[in-house]
Amino acid sequence: MTRDAAIARAEAYFDSGSFRTDLTRRVGMPTESQNPDRRQVLLDYIETEIRPTFEALGFTCRTLTETGWPFLFAERIEDRERPTVLGYGHGDVIRGLDDAWDDGLSPWRMTERDGRWYGRGVADNKGQHTVNIGAIQAVLETRGKLGFNAKYLIEMGEERISPGLRELAVTHRELFRADVLIASDGPRLTAERPTIFLGSRGAVSFDVLIDARKGGHHSGNWGGLLSDPAIQLAHALASITGPSGEIRIPEWCPKEIPDNVRHVLADCVPEDGDGDAKIDPNWGEPGLTPAEKLFAWSSFAILAFEAGNPKTPVGAIPPRAWARCQLRFVVGVDVKDILPALRRHFDSHGFPQVQIAQAGDEIFYATRLDPKHPWVGWAVDSISRTTGKTPAILPNLGASLPNDTFSETLDLPTIWVPHSYPGCSQHAPNEHLPLSIAREGLALMAGLYWDLGEPGVPVGRQTI
């Protein structure tokens, strides 16, 4: 009954093919939360797949649906004097985009190719919570108990910006009470380097548009007489950033990067991705390192732009132009002032005709745990002991997660240990997970869960 034995058992779960069998079954369930026809599949994933898995490990489970979206809550309470750890994952996936995958690949059939598993959800997030559940099982089978209290929440709407999650946390605050969140989602800094991140950038999507008139008009007969909404909107959008992407709306960026954030990012160097995903050193805020641009600053993107009839252009001045935009922002940016600041910017730059509308009601809020928090050092020590590698510490993920539910609503320190990498093609065709990351993830999580049952866990526990 040793730590090494628990890690070896987790690795054996992988080497025996059992991990692959479990993940293959889960990938085969098309849990597209953005597809209204998949509602029953979302429920089935909880009731027929994940609930029996947790119950076999001695967890008590309940399905929570009062917010309109299904959640599974599982808990195993062993000793009220021991720490309580809340885990999290999501079983829903982005749309499969079935026809866009490479020949021989399918989003709903896990396929191994060149040391990678392909399939929708292998990285985001079925593979990641399958790693964590497998590591919990390894500790239980080795020690006979966990040595701590475990709670786990699986949601089925994260790809729709987690509708109902915050409300659920308020309603069930006592049920979710814990000492720390330890969860897995998102990518490592690089494929080879274990990583922990402590929060996430926020995200808000919004539409900007100009409705000039009811219909198009001949570009020869009216060109030079009628305003062109596409040209106007292009200029309005161009005023938001400089030609290299540096944001020109001060309210959208933090006033400064805290010293403790700069310190941990000095050890983090993002790498080029596969294919044509190459870092452009001349893009973004001048004077910042690539890591600071990605993890400590805000970024603006135009996700889509439309005017006229793009598929069959005609010689007419379009009556309307529209763009979907997105701002990723960090702690220090006032989310309530993002769109008002854009309105002031457009008005002051001569674009009062541009309309602004938030795209949907949900917003991801920016969060960040202090890198000097005791749980951070504890997690780094545990992972280093297992892997022989020094993990990268990211103050927050470059992307967005519903971390504010845990850090703000539930007032928990948040430690995320990702089991993917930046080139995994999540949200795109050919999503994949390197086998090496899955196997190492099982080992380091088994070591981490083992250490939670040992002396030396950070103090300041809450009561259950």
Question: Which residues pair with residue 316 across a beta bridge?
Answer: 218
83, burial (CB in 10 Å: exposed 0-12, middle 13-18, buried 19+):
buried
441 confidence band (pLDDT: 50, 70, 90): very high
Report the pLDDT averaged over residues 98-103. 97
Mean pLDDT, range 312-317, rounded to an integer: 95
Per-residue pLDDT tens digits for 134-182: 999 999 999 999 999 999 999 999 999 899 999 999 999 999 999 999 9
- CB 125, CB 27: distance < 8 Å: no
| Dihedral angle sign, alpha carbons of residues 384, 272, 27, 116 | negative
Instruction: Kindly report, residue by residue over 254-270, the tens digit of the pLDDT.
Output: 999 999 999 999 999 99
> How does pLDDT run across 49-88, given as a tens digit for each residue?
999 999 999 999 999 999 989 999 999 999 999 999 999 9
Whether the per-residue pLDDT at 238 is higher than 80: the answer is yes
Measured between alpha carbons, how far is 48 from 391 in angstroms, rounded to an integer? 36
Percent of all residues in the chain with a pLDDT value above 90, rounded to a whole number: 95
pLDDT the model gives residue 463: 40
284-303: average pLDDT: 97
Determine the pLDDT at residue 411: 97
Q: What is the DSSP string of 61-122?
A: EEEE-TTSS-EEEEEE---TTS-EEEEEEE--B----GGGSPTT-BTTB-EEETTEEESTTT
How does pLDDT run across 350-371, given as a tens digit for each residue?
Answer: 999 999 999 977 789 999 999 9
- Report residue 461's pLDDT band, with 50, 70 and 90 as the boundaries: very low
Q: Enumerate domains of the chain plus CATH numbers.
A: 3-200+365-452 (3.40.630.10), 202-266+281-358 (3.30.70.360)
**pLDDT value, residue 460:** 55
The pTM assigned to this predicted structure is 0.93
